[in-house]
Chain A
């Protein structure tokens, strides 16, 4: 019989099929690139940091290693109330690399990353402004790549990949990053890029000032800024060949916390710019799809709990009835495959989504020169990663409803 559980499953699976098909159609269409190259303009790189003693030196070194004329680079380091001696590390760096122009600014109190970026933006005198997370490391060619399509764009975003891939946990995240970069690149072809990642996004200083800089109340200012730039009618591009590496969470708890903040940032931006949900543009469609995606993600967790509860009752009855006398069952165990026992409908919906997801994973790894796919990882990824993200989504929804914006 069709139970509410069955119906709910169908709805959720059909909606996720819709998303997969929509992306497949985008993939088949291909999109087109716009944006013109710039000749070596002057660029300011803003590096906000709050207690990043461990990574700041390497971060600044990667900036120093950029393939770009030293005299056209300015670095503004904003110490956002660090108490761990980050500033001392930076001073030491500056002493050793006197040929790089570094301006050091300090917030006496921790004001948050958006505020730190705004401080740097005020001091910026160059036509281009690059944000740089202090836990990230940029590849030497990245800046030139970003500038290749900077003219006429408000933002050019890079491809972000994890700095570490020695542990499986980081490699699983790498799959998501590579996949995410691929989709961002696809979206960029339709002028629908959705986020300007904290590590090494290149902004047009004028346009950024025009919309008022970064939102200091947003959990994710790098996502929110895109919405305001779009409202201002500006273009956002991605250059897949500009590579920046970032530190990624090392534990599941840390990962879930990070994602909770990201998702919360999206909900917050959605609330502030809800007009985009029904905006007749590709960016509007992507906003709606992303909202749909999060709903499905949360629904999956509900389905999982609901299904476990449904499956729990027979198991409980069984153990109540039989106790630990399970040996006769094990002796009698026969593997009987009953084709008619399978539900072909759910199987069809699920396999279409899985096949299309795998297709995009494979496509993104083929495009990426950085990492090579490991079949075992991608299976684990499909099975477990989505689950962890569902948990983060639900936590984010709860925080959003409760207006609990601490992270």
Chain B
């Protein structure tokens, strides 16, 4: 009886440890996958950023086709990053470097779209979305913005900035002071700052009659 109890304990420990190792191995794979996705974005956004400098010479029409596809990749990469960080045993991104790389790519996209809108008359609304930790209203706004993106596709461009993860990021902080963001959630639409908005208000603001 004692022998069996010990043997069972030994086997259970074996199962537990193999599960744990498998979990850690999975986390490594997740980190790799996240890194890879964000790297792709970094490369792609750098290219776009350079192209935005060349709009005058290249012409607006040649850039239009790449827009919609790029946006989808962007939000998917963030979703995956957030999901993996939540699920993993270890902190995948303890220095938030991965997130900051994502943010850099994100801001390059933002920059490119702003430029493209001004110069080529893009019909989209561009939203910069600041949010912070322990902020239930931010979650609500985030869900509302996702809904609008799903509803109106490329007509609504949302660029989220997680200020908890980007607390030490100089660009994020510069943007924060440019737009005088003091509380979360804060939305920057057409250069103006807004706080929490009801669903109808947000929809009216973002679509502004265009959609």
Contacts and interface: CB of A to CB of B under 8 A. Distances in A.
25 contacts: A1-B85, A2-B89, A14-B12, A18-B9, A22-B5, A285-B4, A317-B143, A321-B140, A321-B141, A321-B142, A321-B143, A321-B144, A321-B147, A322-B143, A328-B147, A332-B150, A338-B80, A341-B87, A344-B19, A345-B22, A345-B26, A345-B89, A348-B18, A348-B22, A352-B15
Contacts of A338: 80
B31 to A, nearest CB: 10
B87 A25 contact: no
Nearest to B200: A323
A1 B139 CA distance: 20
Contacts of B18: 348
B37 to A, nearest CB: 11
A318 B150 CA distance: 14
Interface in A311-361: 314, 317-318, 320-323, 325, 328-329, 331-332, 338, 340-341, 343-346, 348-349, 352
B193 interface: no
Contacts of A18: 8-9, 12
Interface in A200-246: none
B29 interface: yes
A341 B83 contact: yes
Given A25-B7, A343-B26, A345-B89, 16 more contacts: A1-B85, A1-B86, A1-B88, A17-B16, A21-B8, A22-B8, A285-B1, A321-B139, A321-B143, A322-B143, A328-B150, A328-B151, A340-B26, A345-B23, A348-B15, A348-B18
Contacts of B178: none
A317 B12 CA distance: 40
A340 B19 contact: no
B167 interface: no
B205 interface: no
A340 B33 contact: yes
Interface of A: 1-2, 10, 14, 17-18, 21-22, 25-26, 29, 190, 280-282, 284-285, 314, 317-318, 320-323, 325, 328-329, 331-332, 338, 340-341, 343-346, 348-349, 352
Contacts of B141: 321
Contacts of B108: none
B19 to A, nearest CB: 4
Nearest to A288: B5
A381 to B, nearest CB: 24
Interface of B: 1-2, 4-5, 7-9, 11-12, 15-16, 18-20, 22-23, 25-26, 29-30, 33, 80, 83-89, 91, 136, 139-144, 147, 150-151, 199
Nearest to A22: B8
Contacts of B9: 18
The 8 closest A-B pairs by CB, nearest first: A321-B143, A345-B23, A328-B150, A345-B19, A22-B8, A18-B12, A321-B140, A348-B19
A276 to B, nearest CB: 13
B144 A343 contact: no
Contacts of A348: 15, 18-19, 22
A329 B177 CA distance: 35
B204 to A, nearest CB: 14
Nearest to B147: A322
A309 B67 CA distance: 40
A314 B25 CA distance: 28
A41 to B, nearest CB: 33
A284 B1 CA distance: 9
Contacts of A340: 26, 29-30, 33, 84
